Structure 1
Amino acid sequence: MRRNNGSLPPAISLFFLTPVIAEFLPGYLSLDSLVTALVLAPMYGGGALLIRELTRRAGRGWWTILILGLAYGVVEEGFGTQSLFNPHYADLELLQPAHLPGLGMGAWWTVFVVALHAVWSIALPIAIVEAFTASRPRQPWLGRIGLTVTALVFALGVAVIASFTMAGDDFRATPGQFIGAAVAVVLLATLALTLGGKLDAQTLAERAAPPVWLVTALSLLAGAAFAGSAFLVSSGGADQLGWPLVLGYLVLVALMVTIVRHWSVSPDWGDAHRLALAGGALLTYAANAFIETPSTPVDPALDLAGNLGFALGAVVLLLLATRRVSNTALRPQRVGQ
């Protein structure tokens, strides 16, 4: 499965780290459910690893990873959990805000959860693990056999989650909804190969990169604004807040793409800046755990202990990654690389 001996550890790390960051760090799952990470790893870890390998083998960069991350979000929530279509998923009314009756979907939940997966479930774990391989961040980790096995493991992971979901819920999406989700995945994958490449702009020598602290601050603020919207919905007034939040998401995404692309064409933009973006998102997720209610009942003391442990682990991981990047002498690369 491995491409070479040095590439196996980061591939394995990404495979198992991704479900921890995606579900346990933000407090969606609690410490007593940690074994669940092994069940989630094929879907989460397999998806992140597959996207990373396809992108790097194609010579593409971060914009491609992010757009493929959107496609991953559609796969997980459209086929795995069917939350994009289930009006009572997890006993919640997720499709009520900004409801789209003709599609049987909710605009708020669709935009929120798909974007959440693109950034936090896919791009963030890849960025953290690649920071530890800063001397060769764009090198593929897997050969053809490894890539094929990863794709099969990912498909199996989605199937397992789908089977668990259907075993505990009688809801089934319509054939039209499944077809629509499949078309969306194909369109996003196509967009990743076209728009993703176009966003990889040429370096502009006269443009200076911002200080790393400013990049971190922007990432923290944007992450807090995005993640915090879920609590606005849960606090009431879902019907009134749905469409304004959808508009807010689109504006926020447009601003972040514009600002980061403007910064990243500087010849001074490098690994430290990319890690700063990831670090802000990582810390946002860690903070979220302390106000998040786990999906299954848990003793409050154990929940707090788990939140503190995962948050501390995230800080240590970020510090180690920062040290690794600082100790690696590389020619600065733009964000698309």
Structure 2
Amino acid sequence: MMRRLAPAVGLFFLAPLVAEYLLGNVPASEIAAMPVLAPMYGGGALLVRETARRAGRGWPTMILLAAAYGVLEACLIDQSLFNPSFEGQDFQSAAPVPALGVSAVYALSFVGGHVIWSIGVPIAIVEALVPRRSTTPWLGRPALAVTCAVFALGSFLIFRGISRDEGFMASTPQRIGAAVVVVALIGAAFALGRRPRHATAGWVPGPWPVGAAAFVASGLFYARPESWAGVAVGAGLLAVTAAAVTSWSHRTGWGAAHRLSLAGGALLTYVWGGFLLLSLKGTSDTANLAGQAVLALGALALLLAAGRTVARDPDPEEPR
């Protein structure tokens, strides 16, 4: 049973490690917060992955479900997108959208960050480690029900704790609007790609160029300026990347190595970005820098292990 559940357990803990600790938003000295963060992040990543795979869907569905998760967390759970002084930071003056009470910069950063790093990258890496089970469900119905309960409880505890500490609650129209967006994204996730598409012939770049491009694109997205120009750059990067990957992934030369390269390129951005964020937040003391170095080495080791597995095992059929 433990061997069967190992991928799910791995994803449950990898998601918060990437989303908060490797990012540097939560320093390594606060690793004791993992039991608080894992139910929301890990539970969310597992639900996204299991929901899509149980329905026989692939990455388009998972990306839209991840976007729904990003809106849910940033708007309804921790409400960081609506809070003008979340954790003492000014999250609304950069490219503000007064009608919505949000910053366009942070709307893109928070939701896009969750799609890419909190959900997408951990799922892609763990699936690469178990190629023969990469497109099949990992949880039975009882375990899936437990995961739903753990995610709901963890999200509620974070919501209650942050609401108490911040003394903030988004307006009713903001919460209703966010809930509508979440439902719309979930609906879109299952409205798209109902009919499997057959791969076609065509040129596909190798895994190494794909990984290098992912590293550059994710780095530019991560470090873009906090202005309307930065919003345009970020949106453009997402659009171009999505278009290129969508086109390549429907060709016969695209495989597991390419998917891992995409995830690996993005993961490596957090490897250097985590050190930068620690410095910007003033938490780059010796202990936290040492902890960040351990996390960075762990990320590299995980990528190496996944790469070896993908090279050794056959490429599974991925729903397109």
Give me the TM-score of the superposition, normalised by structure 1. 0.90
Is 1:261 the counterpart of 2:257? The answer is no
Equivalent position of 1:202 in the other structure: 198
Cα distance in 2 for residues equivalent to 1:95 and 1:161:
22
Equivalent position of 1:149 in the other structure: 146
SS of aligned partner of 1:189: helix
For 1:259, give the aligned amino acid.
Answer: A
Cα distance in 1 for residues equivalent to 2:117 and 2:93:
24
Deviation at 1:184, TM superposition (A): 0.7
What 5-or-longer segments of structure 2 have no aligned partner?
A: none
What is the percent sequence identity of the aligned residues?
A: 42
For 1:225, give the aligned amino acid.
Answer: L
Cα distance in 2 for residues equivalent to 1:297 and 1:251:
31
Deviation at 1:208, TM superposition (A): 3.1
Paired residues in the alignment total 320
Equivalent position of 2:211 in the other structure: 216
For 1:96, give the aligned amino acid.
Answer: S
**Which stretch of the first structure deviates more once superposed, 171-180 or 43-52?**
171-180
Equivalent position of 1:289 in the other structure: 274
Deviation at 1:98, TM superposition (A): 1.7
Equivalent position of 2:167 in the other structure: 170
What 5-or-longer segments of structure 1 have no aligned partner?
A: 234-240
SS of aligned partner of 1:35: helix
Deviation at 1:302, TM superposition (A): 1.2
Contact 2:278 2:284 in 1 (8 A): no
SS of aligned partner of 2:275: coil
Cα distance in 1 for residues equivalent to 2:29 and 2:235:
36
Cα distance in 2 for residues equivalent to 1:294 and 1:221:
22
Contact 1:29 1:295 in 2 (8 A): no
Equivalent position of 1:134 in the other structure: 131
Deviation at 1:202, TM superposition (A): 2.7
Deviation at 1:190, TM superposition (A): 0.8
Deviation at 1:30, TM superposition (A): 1.1
Deviation at 1:134, TM superposition (A): 0.4
Q: Report Cα offsets for 1:259-307 as digits up to 9, x if no partner.
A: 1112112212111110000100111111101211379764611121112
Equivalent position of 2:32 in the other structure: 35
Relative to structure 1, is the Cα distance of residues 330 and 11 closer, same or farther in structure 2, using a 3 angstrom cutoff?
same
For 1:49, give the aligned amino acid.
Answer: L
Deviation at 1:144, TM superposition (A): 1.6
Deviation at 1:91, TM superposition (A): 1.2
Q: Report Cα offsets for 1:210-238 as digits up to 9, x if no partner.
A: 11111001110111011112xx33xxxxx
Cα distance in 2 for residues equivalent to 1:214 and 1:298:
35
SS of aligned partner of 1:93: coil
More helix, by proportion: 2
Deviation at 1:196, TM superposition (A): 5.0
Is 1:318 the counterpart of 2:313? The answer is no
**Which stretch of the first structure deviates more once superposed, 18-27 or 244-253?**
244-253
Task: Note the 1:66-81 alignment, pairs <5 A.
Answer: 66-81=63-78
**Which stretch of the first structure deviates more once superposed, 247-256 or 273-282?**
247-256
Give me the TM-score of the superposition, normalised by structure 2. 0.95
Deviation at 1:6, TM superposition (A): 4.1
For 1:311, give the aligned amino acid.
Answer: A
Cα distance in 1 for residues equivalent to 2:280 and 2:17:
15
For 1:126, give the aligned amino acid.
Answer: I
Deviation at 1:35, TM superposition (A): 1.1
Q: Report Cα offsets for 1:85-124 as digits up to 9, x if no partner.
A: 1111111111111211122112221122101101100011
Task: Note the 1:1-337 alignment, pairs <5 A.
Answer: 6-197=3-194, 201-204=197-200, 206-229=201-224, 232-233=225-226, 241=227, 243-293=228-278, 298=283, 300-330=285-315, 333=317, 336-337=319-320
Cα distance in 2 for residues equivalent to 1:254 and 1:196:
19
Q: Report Cα offsets for 1:241-264 as digits up to 9, x if no partner.
A: 2x2222222211110111111211
Contact 2:27 2:278 in 1 (8 A): no
